[in-house]
Amino acid sequence: MGKVIGIDLGTTNSCVAVMEGSTPKVIENSEGARTTPSIVAITDDGERLVGQPAKRQAVTNPERTFFAIKRLIGRSFDDPMTQKDLKLVPYKIKKASSGDAWVEADGKDYSPSQISAFTLTKMKETAEAYLGQPVTQAVITVPAYFNDAQRQATKDAGRIAGLEVLRIINEPTAAALAYGLDKKSTGTIAVYDLGGGTFDVSVLEIGDGVFEVKSTNGDTFLGGEDFDM
């Protein structure tokens, strides 16, 4: 049976890990980093760049460099968050025939799931290079506030990348599991998730190893990148 990988598909950065025994191992990418920028670019000659190479050329190719695509995944064009994003990004966001928010480069349209799939493919290839074997199954984390459409769009991205997504897991739940909080019989915990592009706070209730998200809130336009500016 092949290895199942865990992917943190982030707004700003993504990473991939695998279990080695009972310990998770975060895998370094081909650039030697444990995180990969969630950035995809299309160059003048049609080449696709993902991660650090895409980030390096973003200043000179802003209209074809897609970043923070997670803010659009599973959202309609008319969604207030999409409308806010329109004013902040240099690339073109357009309304698809379905009413969803898509992006465009050189006259070609891409769904957020397609762009996210390029990042997931990079994560898949990173894991395969480390493990020395094909990887076909993954668990992917999403924010607790993601609705069904956003979760399905994330699963679609995995499928496009050639991955069977065994489970979509809430990010605060993943954090609680990482710290072994599922071993507590009962309790209520708060998880503060300060990412590169977002800041979320979630309250979880634990009971017999089961996590229930009682409340979640945050700012999808506030993160570590804003501190760097």
Asked: is 173-228 a CATH 3.30.420.40 domain? The reply is yes
148-160 helix and 112-131 helix, angle to the nearest 10 degrees: 50
pLDDT at 180: 82
Q: Model confidence over 64-119: pLDDT tens digits?
A: 999 999 999 999 999 999 999 999 999 999 999 999 999 999 999 999 999 999 99
Q: In a 3-state reduction of DSSP, which class is residue 10?
A: coil
Top-tier CATH class for 4-172: alpha beta
Provide the token pair at 19. Answer: 């279990």
Query: Could you state, in order of their start, the residue ranges of all structural domains in the chain?
Result: 4-172, 173-228
Measured CA to CA, the distance from residue 200 to residue 188 in angstroms comes to 17
User: Per-residue confidence at 204, pLDDT binned at 50, 70, 90?
Assistant: very high
CA angle, residues 160, 115, 171, in degrees to nearest 5: 85
> Do 4-172 and 173-228 share a fold?
yes
Catalytic residues: 8, 70, 171, 193
b vs e for 61-80, b when ≥16 Cβ sit within 10 Å of the residue's Cβ? Answer: beebbbbbbbbbbbbbbebe
Backbone angles phi, psi at 188, to 5 degrees: -125, 130
229: pLDDT strictly greater than 80:
no
pLDDT at 1: 67
Token pair 């993902």 is at which residue?
Answer: 50
pLDDT at 182: 76
